[in-house]
């Protein structure tokens, strides 16, 4: 009896293993793939985002370095009278020498250097936010492309079911002598084309999953579920509002503005090099006990003279001014490109919405009813196979185009969010 129970358990375990082997890997890991979960994971794991954050963090440590004074100089030496023998404590001029000096910048230089470094650090911080927004936009685009690939796979399979009905009807008519073999071959050819399309979609799904995993920061072979269908929400933002929001919120514009401020401060730093710095030096001479109270000390200041300003300071100012002009022109270039990209994506969004409305009007129940009626007419010999297959192709093309336009709309919307800096990409800690 015990052996029988053990045998049933073993048989059940073998059956379970067999089921797992027969079920495709994707089915085992099947489930809904949430976009927000991917974005939050990418904010913590994306190597590109982490690298940009580390670069911005590193730049912050340059601020105190740029404001720091040069290291003080310390000197220890000995002065002897004559060269034949050691005369310390025997000759009045023999002594141990100690010296310390410190260079001090001309007033205002340290503050200007710190300002330039701080503005550059802020620029890199804004650039890191721009990388974050662009990464989120890429994740959204790949997510919607993956959804479209899965949806196209469903449409291909649905079309395959309807096509098998056409094939069955063609075989029935041919068997009864009321149809032609050409109709059967036509239906089978369409079926094989669908199989080819399905294999191509499987390959595309694998490619998109690998790209999505890499962008998020996962292993490329990590399993992914099926993306959730995007919900259509009417886009309410007007073009002037988007451009104004971009000029105000875009991290790329802010990065360029901070770089202009940094180079402007560097111009003033270069102009400040016309003014001399001061080095203060203290000296102490220690003599032996025989010359008590005869130790010597001195305090001196040294000022550098910018004598070669025509080949040093002046060219440095011209260089900084040229860098400032470069930064200002780059800022203007970014604004123009940003405005152009916003207009392009906004036009694409509006176009996709109009096309979706057209496809929605075409995707009514009548078109499916018309196909069923045409299929019934073909079964009774009242129409030909080419008409039935053409109606089926029309349905498939309209459905595919509808979902394709919806995905393109969502991708354009994602790009607009990244361009305008209005994506809610904060972490949970930042939201709190």
Do residues 133 and 418 make contact, with C-beta atoms less than 8 angstroms apart?
A: yes
Tokens found for residue 346: 């906004």
Establish if 144 belongs to a structural domain: yes
Q: 271, 263, 379: which is closest to 317 by C-alpha?
A: 271
Establish if 233 belongs to a structural domain: yes
Name the domain count of the chain: 1
End-to-end CA gap in the chain: 62
For position 157, what pLDDT does the model report? 87
For position 56, what pLDDT does the model report? 95
CA 219/CA 274 separation, integer angstroms = 56
CA 244/CA 231 separation, integer angstroms = 27
- Mean pLDDT is lowest, of 17-26, 31-40, 155-164, for 17-26
- Mean pLDDT is lowest, of 89-93, 302-306, 408-412, for 89-93
CA 186/CA 303 separation, integer angstroms = 96
Spacing of C-alpha 96 from chain mean position? 63
Establish if 100 belongs to a structural domain: no
- Residue 25 CB: number of other CB atoms within 10 A? 9
Establish if 367 belongs to a structural domain: yes
- Mean pLDDT is lowest, of 10-24, 132-146, 204-218, 275-289, for 10-24
Q: 109, 133, 152, 235: which is closest to 401 by C-alpha?
A: 152
- Mean pLDDT is lowest, of 14-28, 75-89, 153-167, 237-251, for 14-28
Domain extent, residue 346, equals 40-69+105-274+309-424
Mean of pLDDT over the chain: 84
In this predicted structure, the answer to whether residue 145 has a pLDDT above a threshold of 90 is yes
Establish if 172 belongs to a structural domain: yes
Establish if 98 belongs to a structural domain: no
Do residues 294 and 89 make contact, with C-beta atoms less than 8 angstroms apart?
A: no
CA 129/CA 49 separation, integer angstroms = 8
Establish if 237 belongs to a structural domain: yes
In this predicted structure, the answer to whether residue 242 has a pLDDT above a threshold of 90 is yes
For position 174, what pLDDT does the model report? 65
Establish if 31 belongs to a structural domain: no
pTM: 0.79
Each as own residue / partner, the long-range contacts of residues 389-392 (CB below 8 Å, 24 or more positions apart, any chain) are 389/163, 389/166, 389/186, 389/187, 389/190, 391/367, 392/159, 392/162, 392/163, 392/166
- pLDDT, mean of residues 149-164: 85
Q: 119, 122, 123, 124: which is closest to 264 by C-alpha?
A: 119
In this predicted structure, the answer to whether residue 43 has a pLDDT above a threshold of 50 is yes
- Residue 432 CB: number of other CB atoms within 10 A? 6
The CATH number of whichever domain residue 270 belongs to comes to 1.20.1600.10
In the structure, what pLDDT confidence band is assigned to residue 363 with cuts at 50, 70 and 90? Answer: low
Dmax over Cα atoms in the chain, in whole Å? 137
């Amino acid at each position: 009896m015990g052996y029988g129970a053990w045998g049933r358990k073993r048989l059940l375990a073998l059956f379970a293993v067999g089921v797992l082997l027969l079920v495709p890997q994707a089915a085992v890991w099947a489930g809904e793939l949430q976009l927000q979960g991917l974005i939050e994971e990418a904010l913590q794991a994306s190597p590109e985002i982490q690298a940009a954050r580390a670069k911005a963090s590193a730049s912050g440590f340059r601020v105190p370095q740029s404001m720091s004074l040069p290291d003080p100089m310390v000197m220890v030496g000995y002065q002897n009278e004559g060269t034949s023998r050691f005369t310390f404590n025997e000759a009045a001029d023999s002594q141990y020498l100690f010296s310390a000096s410190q260079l001090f910048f001309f007033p205002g230089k340290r503050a200007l250097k710190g300002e330039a470094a701080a503005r550059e650090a802020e620029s890199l911080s804004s650039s890191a936010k721009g990388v974050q927004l662009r990464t989120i936009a890429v994740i959204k685009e790949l997510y919607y492309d993956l959804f479209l690939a899965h949806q196209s796979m469903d449409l291909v399979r649905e079309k395959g079911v309807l096509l098998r009905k056409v094939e069955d009807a063609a075989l029935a008519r041919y068997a009864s002598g009321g149809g032609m073999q050409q109709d059967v071959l036509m239906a089978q050819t369409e079926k094989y084309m669908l199989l080819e399309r399905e294999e191509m979609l499987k390959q595309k799904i694998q490619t998109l999953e690998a790209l999505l995993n890499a962008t998020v920061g996962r292993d490329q072979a990590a399993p992914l579920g099926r993306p959730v269908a995007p919900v259509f929400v009417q886009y309410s933002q007007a073009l002037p509002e988007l451009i104004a929001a971009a000029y105000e919120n875009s991290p790329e514009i802010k990065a360029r503005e901070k770089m202009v401020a940094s180079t402007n401060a560097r111009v003033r730093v270069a102009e400040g090099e016309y003014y001399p710095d001061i080095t203060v030096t203290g000296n102490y001479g220690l003599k032996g006990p025989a010359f008590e109270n005869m130790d010597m000390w001195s305090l001196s200041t040294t000022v550098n003279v910018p004598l070669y300003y025509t080949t040093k300071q002046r060219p440095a100012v011209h260089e900084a001014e040229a860098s400032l002009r470069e930064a200002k022109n780059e800022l203007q270039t970014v604004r123009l490109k940003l405005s152009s990209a916003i207009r392009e994506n906004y036009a694409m969004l509006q176009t996709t919405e109009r096309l979706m409305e057209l496809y929605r009007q075409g995707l009514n129940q009548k078109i499916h009813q018309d196909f069923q009626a045409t299929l019934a007419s073909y079964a009774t010999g009242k129409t030909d196979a080419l008409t039935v297959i053409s109606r089926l192709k029309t349905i498939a093309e309209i459905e595919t185009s509808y979902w394709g336009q919806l995905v393109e709309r969502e991708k354009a919307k994602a790009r607009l969010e990244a361009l305008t800096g209005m994506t809610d990409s904060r972490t949970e800690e930042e939201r709190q």
